[in-house]
Each structure stands twice: as structure tokens, then as C-alpha cells.
């Protein structure tokens, strides 16, 4: 749904746009001089004049994003942030026009704003998704204008044009076809049922939780009994190598026990064999209790 500003905001935005469009354009030499003064002398007045002269560029770029349903004033504000970033980073010695350099920063700032606010669902998290988000409508218009879903050939053509995977095109097409909707929205005008009432709950039910807790306690008991049958040194190795948050290395454990790391490895394998034999008497899959390397 497109955002509509209130009359006061609309007037403020219009006044700002008119002011921006009245700012005189800078000659190349003047632009270079202002950039040099800011870059070399931290001349804030020069920076202000440079930025103010290119606010019309921000207004122009903002018009390209008007179809995403976001406030034009917010787009312009984000673009001004990009303009300030461009001015702060601009290096006049590279002999690139400031308008060319600033356009990239302005457009990037607006694109990030659109991606953050177009939907409550995060969009454009990869380069492919970002490219599709801002180009799918344009490329689709070249194929057809009926509003019908794309054909497989059309999707493949777009994927080839943007050098993205076919499934990325399909997913973005689905995203554009739907809109954000509250789970508390009613299913119909008359009635109390909400969308969230019909969402399946994938969480385990109370009975499964209780059974899982009981099984875990049983397995812990079996493992504790099996470890109790090991020698003290074998117990130390198993506890530090297999049951701790972080496994102690063979070398460090060897130093602690006064033996070589190869001997530690041999004792560990022997202890695991003993545990396997003990646990197999009680459980079918000992892998549920021990992680093999």
C-alpha cells in the first residue's frame, strides 16, 4: 500500500524540492575548488555550498523510486545522507565529476532505504535478490504487460539478463505478487476467526516433550553407568575429549596425563569400544550418545 503524506508534509516536501531546483549549477572549476577547500582545509562552508548545489540531483534520483510506495520526503532525506557521504569521500585529484561520483552514493542510500522499508519481510539480502528487486518490473514490462504470471521462457530470459539463478527470479516474482498482511487480520468481514488461528503449530506437543525428557534422562543414566565401568584415566579422557563444551586436544591431554598424544588416542578408542559394548546391551543406537570422529 502506498504511503500518503499529510498535507503539511506534502507542502514541506514541495517547498524543499522547489528550493533545491533553484540552486545554481556549479561550473567544473568552481566544483573542484570547493572540493579542494573541504578536502584540504576542512572548510565546512565549502562543503555546505557543494552539497547544496547538488540537492537537485537527490530530487531527481528520488523520482526513480516513486513506485515503491514509500514517502518521497523520506527518500530525499536518505538521498541527502548519501550526498553527504559522497562529499566526505570525494577526491578531486581523481578528476571525476562530483555529480557522477555522488549519484552512486545517492542511489545506493535510497536503495538501502527501499529494501529496509518496502516490506516487514527482509528483502534483497543477496546481490542477486537486490538486482532482481530493482530490475524485475522493468524487464518484465519488456516481455508482456498483461499482469499475468511470467512464462518459464520469460523467467529464464530475465535470469539470463541479470545473470541470476532461475529460482531467484521465481521467488522474487512471488514476493512482488503478495503484500504484507497481519496475522491478526480477520478471515472475512463478518466473523472473529483470524489468519493466525489456522496456522499449523510445528512445535512438539506436551506429550512428546515429556517423553523426550524421560528418554534423555534414561540415556544419561545409561551413559553414566557405562562411564563408571572405565578406568580412572579412561574416564578422564572421555570426559575431556567427548563430554565437555570444547574438546581438549590429544597433545594437551597427553601432557596432563604424562603420556604421548598417540597413547591418548589409543586409550580413547579403547574406552569408546568399552562404552559401545556396555550401551549396546541397553540401546540399539549408541551413536545417539557418543559422537564419532
Tell me the pLDDT band of 293, cut-offs 50, 70 and 90: very low
d(CA 129, CA 171): 9
Q: Are 69 and 2 in contact (CB under 8 A)?
A: yes
Q: What is the pLDDT of residues 222-236, one digit of tens each?
A: 778 888 888 888 989
| Cell output for 38 | 573541504
The Cα–Cα gap between 229 and 242 comes to 16
Q: How far is Cα 215 from Cα 207, in angstroms, rounded to an integer?
A: 12
Q: What is the pLDDT of residues 206-225, one digit of tens each?
A: 766 666 666 777 777 877 88
Which distant-in-sequence residues (6+ apart) come within 8 Å of 59 by Cβ?
17, 20, 21, 76, 79
Q: Which fold has domain 206-288?
A: Arc Repressor Mutant, subunit A (1.10.10)
pLDDT at 181: 59
Q: What's the pLDDT score for residue 291?
A: 42
Q: What is the mean pLDDT of residues 38-66?
A: 86
Grade residue 3 by pLDDT with cuts at 50, 70 and 90.
low
Please give the average per-residue pLDDT across 100-122, as a whole number.
Answer: 82
Contact 37, 90 (CB under 8 A): no
Domain boundary assignment for the chain? 1-118, 123-179, 206-288
Query: 162-198, pLDDT tens digit by residue?
Result: 888 887 877 777 776 666 556 666 766 666 776 666 6
Using the predicted structure, report yes or no on whether residue 242 has a pLDDT greater than 80: yes
At 262, is the pLDDT very low, low, confident or very high (cuts 50, 70, 90)? very high
Q: Whole-angstrom Cα distance, residue 145 to residue 283?
A: 64
Mean pLDDT, all residues of the chain: 79
Shortest CA distance to 24 belongs to which of 34, 10, 38, 9? 34
pLDDT at 47 (0 to 100): 85
- Cβ neighbours of 4 (radius 10 Å): 10
Q: Which residue has the higher pLDDT, 292 or 138?
A: 138
Kindly report the number of other CB atoms within 10 A of residue 139's CB atom: 17
C-alpha cell at 101: 561520483
129 confidence band (pLDDT: 50, 70, 90): confident
Residue 72 has pLDDT above 60, yes or no: yes
pLDDT for res 266: 92
Alpha carbon distance 161, 132 (integer Å): 10
Percent of the chain exceeding pLDDT 90 equals 5
pLDDT class for 147, splitting at 50, 70, 90? low
pLDDT-based confidence at 41, cuts 50/70/90? Answer: confident
The yes-or-no answer to whether 1-118 and 206-288 have a common fold is no
CA dihedral in degrees (110, 116, 120, 123; nearest 10)? 100
Note the CATH number of domain 1-118. Answer: 1.20.120.1810
Amino acid at each position: 500500500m502506498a504511503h500518503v503524506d499529510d498535507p503539511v508534509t506534502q507542502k514541506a516536501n514541495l517547498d524543499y524540492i522547489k528550493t533545491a531546483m533553484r540552486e545554481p549549477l556549479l561550473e567544473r572549476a568552481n566544483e573542484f575548488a570547493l572540493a579542494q577547500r573541504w578536502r584540504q582545509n576542512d572548510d565546512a562552508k565549502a562543503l555546505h555550498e557543494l552539497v547544496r548545489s547538488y540537492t537537485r540531483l537527490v530530487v531527481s534520483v528520488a523520482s526513480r523510486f516513486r513506485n515503491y510506495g514509500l514517502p518521497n520526503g523520506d527518500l530525499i532525506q536518505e538521498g541527502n545522507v548519501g550526498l553527504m557521504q559522497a562529499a566526505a569521500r570525494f577526491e578531486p585529484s581523481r578528476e571525476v565529476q562530483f555529480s557522477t561520483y555522488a549519484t552512486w552514493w545517492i542511489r545506493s542510500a535510497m536503495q538501502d532505504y527501499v529494501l529496509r522499508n518496502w516490506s516487514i519481510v527482509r528483502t534483497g539480502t543477496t546481490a542477486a535478490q537486490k538486482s532482481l528487486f530493482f530490475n524485475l518490473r522493468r524487464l518484465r514490462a519488456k516481455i508482456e504487460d498483461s499482469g499475468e504470471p511470467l512464462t518459464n521462457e520469460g523467467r529464464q530470459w530475465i535470469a539470463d539478463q541479470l545473470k541470476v539463478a532461475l529460482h531467484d527470479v521465481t521467488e522474487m516474482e512471488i514476493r512482488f505478487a503478495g503484500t504484507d498482511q497481519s496475522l491478526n487480520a480477520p478471515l472475512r468481514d463478518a466473523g472473529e476467526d483470524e489468519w493466525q488461528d489456522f496456522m499449523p503449530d510445528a512445535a512438539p506437543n506436551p506429550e512428546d516433550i515429556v517423553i523426550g525428557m524421560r528418554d534423555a534422562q534414561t540415556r544419561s543414566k545409561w551413559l553414566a553407568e557405562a562411564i563408571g565401568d572405565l578406568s580412572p584415566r579412561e574416564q578422564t579422557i572421555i570426559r575431556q575429549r567427548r563430554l565437555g563444551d570444547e574438546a581438549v586436544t590429544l597433545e594437551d591431554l597427553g601432557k596432563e596425563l604424562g603420556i604421548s598424544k598417540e597413547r591418548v588416542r589409543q586409550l580413547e578408542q579403547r574406552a569408546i569400544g568399552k562404552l559401545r559394548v556396555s550401551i549396546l546391551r541397553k540401546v540399539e543406537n549408541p551413536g545417539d550418545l557418543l559422537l564419532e570422529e
